[in-house]
Structure 1
Amino acid sequence: MRDPIVHRESTKILANAYSPTSLLAYEPAHRREKPIDLGAWMSYYTFDVIGQLSFSKMFGFLEKGCDVDRIIETIDIILTYASQSVNGWLVGNTSLRKGRRRARSLDIESRGDMLTKWYALNQNGSQWMTTKHLVAHLSANVYGGSDTTSIALRSIFYYLGKNKDKMRKLVEEIDGAAAAGNLSQPVSFKEANMHLPYLNAVIKEGMRIHPSAGLIYERYVPSGGDTICGKYIPGGTVVGINPWVTQYDPEVFPDPESFIPERWLDSTEEQLKRMEQSFFNFSAGSRTCLGRHIAMIEMSKMIPELLRRFELILTYPDREWETRNVWLVKQKGVIYNITKRS
């Protein structure tokens, strides 16, 4: 949304559904020797969570173990198109028109999911939650809230697999917290925050070293122009910041191409502040991602639960993964051997 007033009012009306308090209300909801594509299962997990939060119904990815209704494939096609021709892509895409019909037919008699909350605002005549807004926000949940988190999860497990000492350190922290009686089963978000500091550092470093978005976060210079870093920029010019630039700045993140979770725990207060200011994975300011709490809750709960139950070893530790930047930088090749821990 280019108009700052429209953006501000829309954000106000959406923010409650994305707050930690609202999201944690959903928290109670619910041995292979053969190598598996863990990266694919990360996508199945994040898409089903978004389905549950948005519509009180999972899409069925985890149950079926496949790309249900070719949703992931369709989004990949949309991203490829959108990364090259952004203007008008939402209006012209046939997949979204189909999505409108599906959204209208969904059962809204549910447990207070986002559809139900926002539909109530729509029925009360809110100018910021017309049917067009409703469909756009729910579509954005699916398109924007699934792949981004699964990319982060793939990054975390890929770099943990490549750095066995980091994996071992994290598993030891989880086992120690469980032995001390500080973790329930499944792990709660509050417990992960309080008792698993290295986990939080691993999550942060995984997102730093491989940000989900690979192109700039676009902004439009206001009419009349503005001066940025001492240079005058005419009004209407597209400017932006790329997290792959800010999060690889060696002055802020020494040895930026190395996976070092400890930097988030051992840095000085001043250095940590600089790192936080340069961490751009969720954008910043008034445009900070509303769904960031969803992502953090998903990762903070799933990673320790997986590692306390299973031993994970990269099947091909010497292979590099494949990445493709179509605005989102998606990866292939996170293949793991998974065995149940005793």
Structure 2
Amino acid sequence: MGPLMILGYLVGGWITIHVLIFLYNLYLHPLRNIPGSKIAAISELYTSYLLITGEYCRRTLELHDKYGPVIRTGPRELSFNTLTAFNEIYGGRLRTDHVYEKNPIAYIQGTHESKNIFFAQSKAHGRYRKILAPAFSESSVREVEPTIKYQVDGFIRALRDRRTGQGNFPTKEGVVDIDAWATYIVFDLLSALSFGEPFGCVEKGEEHPWVTNIFGVITHATWVQAAHRLKPYHKILEKLFIPEWLEGKFARHLDWTKKTLKKRIENPSTKKDWLTFYEKGLDEEELFDSFNVLIAAGGETTASTIAATLYYSTHTPGVMEKLVKEVRGRFASDSEIDIAEAKKLAFVRAVIDETMRIHPAVPVGLPRIVPKGGRFIDGHFVPGGSWVSASQMSACLSPMNFFEPRKFHPERWLGDKRFENDNRGVFFPFSLGKRNCIGLHFAIAHITFILTRLIWNFDIEAMPGNKDPLTLNEMGIWEPHSLWIRIADRKFD
């Protein structure tokens, strides 16, 4: 038997095995009766394609619109969009045999051990949360408020600067990419609280290289996830298809974090920052990993929410006018604004909540593994080992849960009877249960304070040609994009 014949038998056998797997997944698999994409049901290849093209969440939403509250999105994967599913999958249980663990293949580490709160399994996660949570409590936010105020003061001054031709400062006419500037202030703040000094984005009117690399790092993570879904070919696919420039961004990003954190550890600060809370409970590797994830993930999601809020506020008739009336009617001077008082502004909070509903900062469902023995979810028996998720995008943009879900209505959060049948229980912008976002108090304080200061200080209007945020692609978070507005110092009566 010659080598070509042997090769032919091997190729034929490989094809036969995969055809049989495809047929099993389609006609015999325990999830075969769940509606959804037939292409996705036979192989992970289609899901991997959607992930690397940034279309996964949009396609999942379309399938929910077509088939209902539960759909099949992979050979062993289901997506849900109901309150009962959110509570079952993410709500948390004291019994360890009921925990829906994170699916390691669906995250950046693939199958490797992780050393941070975001990727850790339940037991390790509890330890990390106990150490990290105090830094993000409401009382801790009050403790670091002077740092927040100082950085936002600089942000407001910079937006009054008209250094045309330098960085991304506003033009003489006040035209500015506010998506970029939301990124600058958020990451300067996070850097000041993490490393003891800001990145300098606001001062220079441009991104620090560490910030520039973040979306590349998250894109790298998405490509790794796509590859790991295709085991046993994942290692080959990583080598063949993950671009070198993505690998380079990832490496430079990690290297800068290590060097900067080490410098901060070796030079203790008199100011209270996050390292004050962390350094006694985490080793050096855990510190590095935790800082890297918390800043990258927290920064991008917060900045995108600020930018999206300004998009919907300036593109929805009457909303900015109501915001101006509330903010300027409450505060006689800019110096009166603090976090506690800003959080009392009902319409501001309604606008933020409506933004997080229509444009969730994390649109993708967070994959979990069904415990051994299987579980019933929304009346469907799901075998143990299956992958399940429920996403904010699929839940909050569904007409099953909200009236006019694709329209921006802040009034739905203020008791308007048009929306009395809305299922607001599915609104979990910071997730729920034991693994909900540890930084939710900080994020809301941050977003509310920055927006309130902007609205008090400037008259804001949209420029033509901005993209609707929902048309953007996503890699777990939304891709960066420009949002052009015109700002002018407010006019006093």
Alignment of 1:77 with 2:216, yes or no, is: yes
Change (3 A) 1:273 1:18: farther
Aligned to 1:125: none
Q: How big is each residue's C-alpha offset from its partner over 1:110-165, in whole Å with a ceiling of 9 and x where there is no partner? A: 312111321133xxxxxxx2222211111122111111001101110001110130
Alignment of 1:112 with 2:272, yes or no, is: yes
Aligned to 1:5: 123
Q: Is the 8 A contact 1:103 1:135 kept in 2?
A: yes
Aligned to 2:309: 156
Q: Quote how far apart the aligned CAs of 1:48 are.
A: 0.8
Q: Which amino acid aligns with 2:478?
A: V
1:289 to 416, 424, 437: 437
Q: Is the 8 A contact 1:161 1:317 kept in 2?
A: no
Alignment of 1:135 with 2:288, yes or no, is: yes
Q: How big is each residue's C-alpha offset from its partner over 1:11-58, in whole Å with a ceiling of 9 and x where there is no partner? A: 111110110100111112305514110110000011011112222211
Change (3 A) 1:215 1:33: same
Alignment of 1:209 with 2:358, yes or no, is: yes
Change (3 A) 1:272 1:186: farther
Q: Is the 8 A contact 1:115 1:138 kept in 2?
A: no
Unaligned runs of 5+ residues in structure 2 are 1-118, 151-159, 161-171, 229-234, 239-246
Aligned to 2:343: 193
Runs (4+) of structure 1 moved beyond 4 Å? 270-273, 317-322
How many equivalent pairs are there? 327
1:229 to 343, 365, 378: 378
Once the two structures are overlaid, the 10-residue window that deviates more, 150-159 or 72-81, is: 72-81
- Tell me the distance in 1 between the aligned counterparts of 2:467 and 2:445: 30
Q: Quote how far apart the aligned CAs of 1:235 are.
A: 2.8
Aligned to 1:51: 191
Task: State the secondary structure of the residue aligned to 1:33.
Answer: coil
Q: Is the 8 A contact 1:155 1:206 kept in 2?
A: yes
Aligned to 1:126: none
Q: Which amino acid aligns with 2:259?
A: R
Report sequence identity in percent. Answer: 28
Alignment of 1:1-342 (within 5 A): 1-29=119-147, 30=150, 31=160, 32-68=172-208, 70-86=209-225, 93-94=250-251, 95-106=253-264, 107-121=267-281, 129-179=282-332, 185=335, 187-194=337-344, 196-267=345-416, 271=420, 274-275=423-424, 277-316=425-464, 320=468, 323-342=472-491
Change (3 A) 1:151 1:226: same
Q: Quote how far apart the aligned CAs of 1:60 are.
A: 0.8
Change (3 A) 1:217 1:185: same
- Tell me the distance in 2 between the aligned counterparts of 1:311 and 1:274: 35
- Tell me the distance in 2 between the aligned counterparts of 1:272 and 1:264: 12
Task: State the secondary structure of the residue aligned to 2:343.
Answer: helix
Q: Quote how far apart the aligned CAs of 1:215 are.
A: 1.9
Q: Quote how far apart the aligned CAs of 1:227 are.
A: 2.4
- Tell me the distance in 2 between the aligned counterparts of 1:320 and 1:252: 22
Q: Which amino acid aligns with 1:103?
A: L
Change (3 A) 1:252 1:319: closer
- Tell me the distance in 1 between the aligned counterparts of 2:358 and 2:420: 17
Q: Is the 8 A contact 1:214 1:326 kept in 2?
A: no
Task: State the secondary structure of the residue aligned to 1:262.
Answer: helix
Aligned to 2:157: none
Once the two structures are overlaid, the 10-residue window that deviates more, 100-109 or 37-46, is: 100-109
Q: Quote how far apart the aligned CAs of 1:308 are.
A: 1.1
Change (3 A) 1:319 1:48: closer
Q: Which amino acid aligns with 2:363?
A: G
Task: State the secondary structure of the residue aligned to 2:459.
Answer: strand
Q: How big is each residue's C-alpha offset from its partner over 1:299-325, in whole Å with a ceiling of 9 and x where there is no partner? A: 111111111111111111676466221
Larger radius of gyration: 2
Q: How big is each residue's C-alpha offset from its partner over 1:231-264, in whole Å with a ceiling of 9 and x where there is no partner? A: 2323333211111011112233210111111110
- Tell me the distance in 1 between the aligned counterparts of 2:133 and 2:336: 27
- Tell me the distance in 2 between the aligned counterparts of 1:235 and 1:23: 41
Q: Which amino acid aligns with 1:96?
A: L
Unaligned runs of 5+ residues in structure 1 are 122-128
Change (3 A) 1:186 1:54: farther
Q: Which amino acid aligns with 1:325?
A: E
Q: Quote how far apart the aligned CAs of 1:331 are.
A: 4.5
Task: State the secondary structure of the residue aligned to 2:473.
Answer: strand
RMSD of aligned residue pairs (Cα, Å) = 2.5
- Tell me the distance in 1 between the aligned counterparts of 2:465 and 2:366: 33
Q: How big is each residue's C-alpha offset from its partner over 1:162-211, in whole Å with a ceiling of 9 and x where there is no partner? A: 013011011011111124xxx762511111223x1100101111111101
Change (3 A) 1:72 1:235: same
Q: Is the 8 A contact 1:324 1:331 kept in 2?
A: no
> What TM-score results when the alignment is normalised by the length of structure 2?
0.62
